[in-house]
Amino acid sequence: MNAWLVRGLGMALIHVVFRALLGAAIAQWPLQGSTLRWLSLLIVIVFAAIWGGIDGIRDRRNFPEPEDGADLTMLWLKAALVGGFVAGAASWALSLVPSLELTQQGLFFEVTSGAAFTILLIFVPAMIAITVGRFFVSREQRKNGTAPQTPSHERHHEPVPVSEGYDSPTEQHAYSGAAMSVEESDADTAVFPAIDLGKRER
C-alpha cells in the first residue's frame, strides 16, 4: 500500500473516532461543547504533526542533503486529500446510525467544505512538523560533524578522470593517440618555396 494512502486512511480514522467521541461527550456535557470541540481539533492536529515530524526526521537522517530527500510535500498533500474526503464521507455515513451523532450536515457539505477543513487540519501541521524535524536533524548532524562538507552541486559535478569510462588500456591509448593527432593537425603548416613557371617553360 502506498505511503500517502496509509497516512490518509490513518488520519481519516483518527478524525472519525474523535468526532464520534466528541458527539458522545457533548451529549453527556452539553455546556462544555465548545471546549470539547477545540480539544478534539487539537488532538487531530497533534497526531498529524507527530506523524509528519517522524517523516521529516527519518528523511533527513537517510538523506543528509536536502536535494536528495523524498518529496514529502506531495506525499502529505495526497494523504490530506484522502483523509479529508474519507473522513467526511465516513462521518456522514455513521451519522445515519441512531446512536451515533457525528454530524448534522449532509453528504455534500461533508465532502466539500467539511473535507477542505479536514485537509487543512492534516496538511498544515504535518508540513510544519516536517520542516522542524529536518531542521533539528540537520543541526544535530552539524554538531556531530556528520553533515556533508561538500556542497551538493560540487559533489554531483566532480571531474571524471580520463581513464574512467574505458573498458581497457587499449581504448584509452587509442583515445590518447587520436587526441595527439588532432593537436598535431593544428600545428603550423610548412611553407614551401614558390615555383617560377616562366623559368620552367624555358
State the CB neighbour count (10 A cutoff) for residue 13: 14
Number of independent structural domains in the chain: 1
Assign 95 to helix, strand or coil. Answer: coil
186 burial via Cβ count (<10 Å: 0-12, 13-18, 19+): exposed
Give the mean pLDDT of 31-49: 91
Domain assignment of residue 132, yes or no: yes
Domain assignment of residue 170, yes or no: no
Q: pLDDT over 90 for what percent of the chain? A: 47
Domain assignment of residue 138, yes or no: yes
Measure CA 160 to chain center: 30
Does residue 89 register a pLDDT over 50? yes
Cα 65-137-44 angle, rounded to 5 deg:
115
Q: What is the pLDDT of residue 99?
A: 76
Residue 76's closest CA among 27, 136, 129, 147? 129
Q: What is the pLDDT of residue 173?
A: 47
Residue 173's closest CA among 182, 186, 163, 183? 163
Give the mean pLDDT of 74-86: 96
Report in angstroms the alpha-carbon separations of 125 from 85, 97, 111: 18, 32, 21
Domain assignment of residue 62, yes or no: yes
Range of the domain at 101: 35-144
Domain assignment of residue 4, yes or no: no
136 burial via Cβ count (<10 Å: 0-12, 13-18, 19+): middle
Domain assignment of residue 76, yes or no: yes
Domain assignment of residue 57, yes or no: yes
Measure CA 189 to chain center: 60
Domain assignment of residue 43, yes or no: yes
Q: What is the pLDDT of residue 41?
A: 92
How many angstroms separate the CA atoms of 9 and 62, rounded? 25
Q: What is the pLDDT of residue 29?
A: 87
Which range, 58-72, 113-127, 147-161, 167-181, is most confident?
Answer: 113-127
What pTM, to 2 d.p., does this model score?
0.69
How many angstroms separate the CA atoms of 25 and 112, rounded? 26
Q: What is the pLDDT of residue 149?
A: 55
For residue 5 the three cell numbers come to 494512502
State the CB neighbour count (10 A cutoff) for residue 188: 5
Q: How confident is the model at residue 165 (pLDDT cuts 50, 70, 90)?
A: very low
